């Protein structure tokens, strides 16, 4: 279950980064409150890695693909997309990524993060000008929901080619599911 700790005064990004939080925990700043997600299941991590590989192979060296790192959206929101893409230049390994740098954010929905992954984070990303995808598991299959900056989300199943920074990225959801959800 995703829990949000409400403070009498919303935390700012500066206060959030001043906290001494165990790096093993997935803690995000959402609306000025701390959101703590439970640990991911193995399939979630495998889907992240396979998607990372597909994006990296299609986009090439001009782009970097990150897993589960902070992105500063504004003064009260620092989500941690499961996967996200930025340009390789400029690159500063010590700087926290800002929303303006992100070309795509991806959330892989787990049972404990349904509300944030389906409603809260897509709205944050859209408001910040970040196209996003959400991947959901249904039994032994995966569905990818493409959430554009304008318009309705589009559901994709099986093999699909989507654009990231005007580059075609082939994604085989069935192959990822077979690998991640092995019996």
Q: Write down the pLDDT at residue 8.
A: 65
Hey, where are the domains in the chain? 40-180
Mean pLDDT of 105-125: 91
Report how far residue 177's alpha carbon sits from residue 179's, in angstroms, rounded to the nearest whole number. 5
Report how far residue 183's alpha carbon sits from residue 177's, in angstroms, rounded to the nearest whole number. 11
Strand 26-30: give its sheet, edge to edge: 3-5, 33-37, 26-30
**Cβ atoms of residues 18 and 131 within 8 Å:** no
Q: Write down the pLDDT at residue 171.
A: 97
Q: Write down the pLDDT at residue 22.
A: 82
Match 């787990």 to its residue by tokens.
110
Binning pLDDT at 50, 70 and 90, where does residue 183 land?
Answer: low
**CB under 8 Å to 119, separation ≥6 — which residues?**
none
Please say if the pLDDT value at position 108 is more than 60: yes
Q: Per-residue pLDDT tens for 123-144?
A: 999 999 999 999 999 999 999 9
Whole-structure pTM value: 0.91
Which tokens go with 123? 């709205």
Share of the chain above pLDDT 70, in %: 95
Pairing of strands 97-98, 71-72: parallel
CATH 1.10.150.120 fits 40-180, yes or no: no
Lowest mean pLDDT among 100-104, 114-118, 167-171, 177-181: 114-118
DSSP category for residue 141: E
Q: Write down the pLDDT at residue 1.
A: 37
Classify residue 95 as left (phi > 0), alpha (psi -120 to 50) or beta: beta
Q: Write down the pLDDT at residue 2.
A: 43
Mean pLDDT of 168-178: 97
Q: Write down the pLDDT at residue 150.
A: 94
Binning pLDDT at 50, 70 and 90, where does residue 115 land?
Answer: confident
Q: Per-residue pLDDT tens for 24-66?
A: 788 999 999 999 888 888 999 999 999 999 999 999 999 999 9
Share of the chain above pLDDT 90, in %: 79
């Amino acid at each position: 279950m995703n829990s949000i700790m409400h403070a009498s005064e919303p935390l700012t990004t500066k206060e959030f980064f001043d906290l001494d939080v165990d790096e093993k925990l997935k803690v995000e700043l959402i609306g000025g409150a701390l959101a703590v997600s439970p640990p991911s299941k193995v399939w979630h991590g495998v889907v992240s890695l396979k998607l990372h590989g597909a994006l990296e192979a299609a986009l090439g060296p001009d782009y970097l693909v990150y897993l589960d790192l902070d992105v500063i959206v504004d003064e009260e929101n620092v989500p941690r997309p499961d996967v996200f893409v930025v340009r390789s230049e400029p690159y500063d390994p010590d700087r926290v990524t800002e929303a303006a740098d992100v070309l795509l954010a991806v959330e892989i929905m787990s049972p404990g993060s349904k509300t944030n992954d389906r409603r809260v984070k897509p709205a944050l990303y859209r408001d910040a000008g970040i196209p996003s995808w959400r991947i959901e598991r249904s039994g032994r299959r995966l569905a990818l929901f493409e959430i554009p900056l304008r318009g309705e989300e589009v559901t994709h199943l099986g093999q699909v080619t989507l654009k990231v920074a005007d580059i075609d990225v082939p994604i085989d959801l069935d192959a990822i599911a077979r690998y991640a959800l092995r019996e």
